[in-house]
Amino acid sequence: MIERDTPAAPGDVAPSRGPEGASGPRLRIGLVAPPFERVPPVAYGGTERIVHALAVELDRRGHAVTVFASADSDVPGRLVPTVGAPIRDTGAVGAAAIPWMALTQVMTLAAPGDLDVLHAHLDWAAIPLGHLARIPVVVTFHGRVDLPASRELLAASRCHHVAISADQASTHPSASWAGIVHNGLDLSGSAVSERPGDDLCFVGRLVPEKGILEAIEVARLSGRRLRVAAKLGAQPAEVDYYERVVRPAMRTADVEHLGELSGEERDQLFAESHATLMPGSWPEPFGLVAIESMACGTPVLTTRVGALPEIVREGVDGFFGDDAQRLAFHVPDVARLDRAAIRASVLDRFSAARMADGYLEVYRRVLEGPHEQHHGG
């Protein structure tokens, strides 16, 4: 079981210095990734990319980082394998994924007790760690928190909860949040095109809530080609939806289905595109696709749902529309936006360094005592 060592005296703690010159105690931090993808993912993976970016930045600042992840992960510091290989392509979803999440919990608790703080990225599956570990447990929610019994579980939890957007935290305005920390990535190497094309692009799962049908309709109404980067999921329901609904819809417009792309290929797709479409109804807790697109200078056309209004600035980074017709109306307007300014802003607002700053502040508060309340809304 993870147990915190006796704290060292202030004079015995080695300082860490970040890029901004800020100093602080050297912390021993455990980052727990879900078992679905390696860290970092080979192709696309949201939570695992965030865990990797945070691990790299914390290690760069001199903190001792332990990452709990699949055995094939490539991370700085120490790796504690929780599963032999990622479970994404096994079809283990829903109830079938529960044993794998439980194994991740067990392997985390069985690790050597030399950490100061445990930071789990397992969403609700992290809650038991707060009751069993003998060190503070920070849990970041990367998914939806408006689920049955969520209010009661947050109230009963001994973890220190972090939301990835103000919108996500506002779902439980009376809950005590240890912090609100936007996701961040090292996006400095993202592709940029001086002469983007006329095509639109869609990156995401081919499921109703992500808006693939609406994206196809935007392309049809605007008379532009839509390039889709998405792997057909292993879930039977997703395969059925694709075969029955999505594939026939693709025949109604000029659509190119590229399949799943590597990170470099995906960035090139963003950079070459006129705009990225995010027309879904899914209340995005954050929206990584938006910042990845904007880091390439490519504006985003999206619905005003979830955290997207915290990321996309209307008339600066893109435009909002309530339906496909309104989004198609804004397609020509994208040409007047400053792509260089879009890129510069997102590199500053959503950097891995800013994310690490936020989490180090959370760690500091929870290690010093009862965390301050940060109410959503």
pLDDT digits (tens, 9 = 90+) for 237-293: 888 999 999 999 999 999 999 998 988 899 999 999 999 999 999 899 999 999 999
Angstrom distance (rounded) from CA 107 to CA 91: 22
Whole-model pTM: value is: 0.88
Least confident of 21-25, 178-182, 271-275: 21-25
Confidence of residue 194 (pLDDT cuts 50, 70, 90): confident
The mean pLDDT of the chain is: 88
Residue 96 in this model has a pLDDT that exceeds 80 = no
Considering only residues 180 and 24, tell me which one the structure prediction assigns the higher pLDDT.
180
Question: H-type helices in the chain, by residue range?
Answer: 46-60, 98-109, 127-132, 150-156, 166-170, 212-222, 236-241, 247-250, 263-272, 288-295, 308-311, 324-330, 339-349, 352-368
Angstrom distance (rounded) from CA 106 to CA 111: 9
Considering only residues 85 and 361, tell me which one the structure prediction assigns the higher pLDDT.
361
Residue 107 in this model has a pLDDT that exceeds 60 = yes
Q: Give the model's pLDDT for residue 97.
A: 72
Q: Give the model's pLDDT for residue 95.
A: 65
Question: Which domains can be identified in the chain, with CATH numbers?
Answer: 10-185+351-368 (3.40.50.2000), 200-349 (3.40.50.2000)
Say what percent of the chain tops pLDDT 90: 72
What is the number of alpha carbons within 13 Å of residue 101 lying toward its C-beta? Answer: 17
Residue 321 in this model has a pLDDT that exceeds 50 = yes
Q: Is the CB of residue 139 less than 8 Å from the CB of residue 128?
A: no
Least confident of 38-52, 127-141, 204-218, 345-359: 38-52
Find all residues with CB under 8 Å of 344, minimum gap 6, and list them. Answer: none
Strand partners, 163: 141, 180
Least confident of 180-184, 188-192, 219-223: 188-192
Q: Give the model's pLDDT for residue 165.
A: 97
Residue 3 in this model has a pLDDT that exceeds 80 = no
